[in-house]
Amino acid sequence: MRERWRSGLVLLLSAVLLAGIVLFAPGSENSAFRRLIGIGDDPLGTPADVPAGGVYAFLEHQRGNPDDPVAWDPCKEIHFEVNTDGAPDGAEDTVDFVREAVAVVAEVTGLRFVYDGTTDRRPKWDGAFVPLGGRREPVLISWATASEVDELKGNVAGLGGAAAREGVDGRLRFITGGVTLDSASFDDLEDERDGEEFQRAILLHELGHLVGLDHVDSPAELMFADNIGQRDFGRGDLNGLVRLGEGRCS
Ligand SMILES: [Zn+2]
């Protein structure tokens, strides 16, 4: 712990020292370097090129502008943790499964996700997962049963979402969130043909919510509420994800 704190302090000091140099450096060659020390305002990645078409919807939009979605800050890393308890596979396979799906969303949106490791944290969907005091809790990806998480009751295979906070510029940005997958549904799928693909589709759907996509009426999209066979992001999903990767930096 102490070592971590010390190296954090050293990093902070060097950041302050270097900031002076960078702020006065002309040109944009230094953007990667500015990003590295956390004072840049360039997005960390670039959204994918996707063919136009399909339908998508946003979970939330900026006040008074339905076409301006609430998104994550593309200049900041999105940290996530995995609690593998209740997942059908062993811890290592489960983490691989999650990381592969997160990589798909990262690739399309250009958002930068950072895996912080496994955790014992349990999901809370009653609003308590919004961090207090400005502390940014990593995104939590976990499995649970309906007896623990009420929202999983009924025919619900998973939950996904994020909490936004208003920045000094008056814009809302997501600052934390989570995905909770239904242990029973995942267990059932273990025995199904193509079950693993459907498990992946459920996770991708919930990750879609995590970055700001809402449900749509089209069964051709993965964000269709009642999935009936779509296994990958559809054209509209992809276009929505690209828009959500183009949020404004804080
Ligand atoms: Zn959904």
For the domain that residue 176 is a member of, what is the CATH number? Answer: 3.40.390.10
Q: What spacing in Å lies between the alpha carbon of 8 and ligand 1's midpoint?
A: 38
Q: What spacing in Å lies between the alpha carbon of 221 and ligand 1's midpoint?
A: 11
On whether both 133 and 204 belong to a single domain, the answer is: yes
Residue 135 confidence (pLDDT): 60
- Do residues 180 and 149 touch, judged by C-beta distance below 8 A? yes
Q: What spacing in Å lies between the alpha carbon of 156 and ligand 1's midpoint?
A: 9
On whether both 30 and 106 belong to a single domain, the answer is: no
Contacts of 221 (CB under 8 A, 6+ apart): 54, 55, 56, 230, 233, 234, 235, 236, 237
Amino acid, res. 184: A
On whether both 205 and 117 belong to a single domain, the answer is: yes
Domain presence at residue 77: yes
Residue 140 tokens read as: 């939590």
Q: What spacing in Å lies between the alpha carbon of 160 and ligand 1's midpoint?
A: 7
On whether both 88 and 138 belong to a single domain, the answer is: yes
Domain presence at residue 51: no
**In the chain, % of residues over pLDDT 90:** 66
Q: What spacing in Å lies between the alpha carbon of 92 and ligand 1's midpoint?
A: 26
Amino acid, res. 67: D
pTM of this structure: 0.82
CA dist., res. 241 & res. 48, Å (int): 9
Q: How many domains does the chain have?
A: 2
CA dist., res. 180 & res. 121, Å (int): 12
On whether both 129 and 195 belong to a single domain, the answer is: yes
pLDDT beneath 70: ranges in the chain: 1-40, 126-135, 228
Q: Which residues constitute the domain of residue 168? A: 57-244
Residue 211 tokens read as: 């970055």
Residue 124 confidence (pLDDT): 84
On whether both 14 and 133 belong to a single domain, the answer is: no
Residue 46 tokens read as: 């670039």
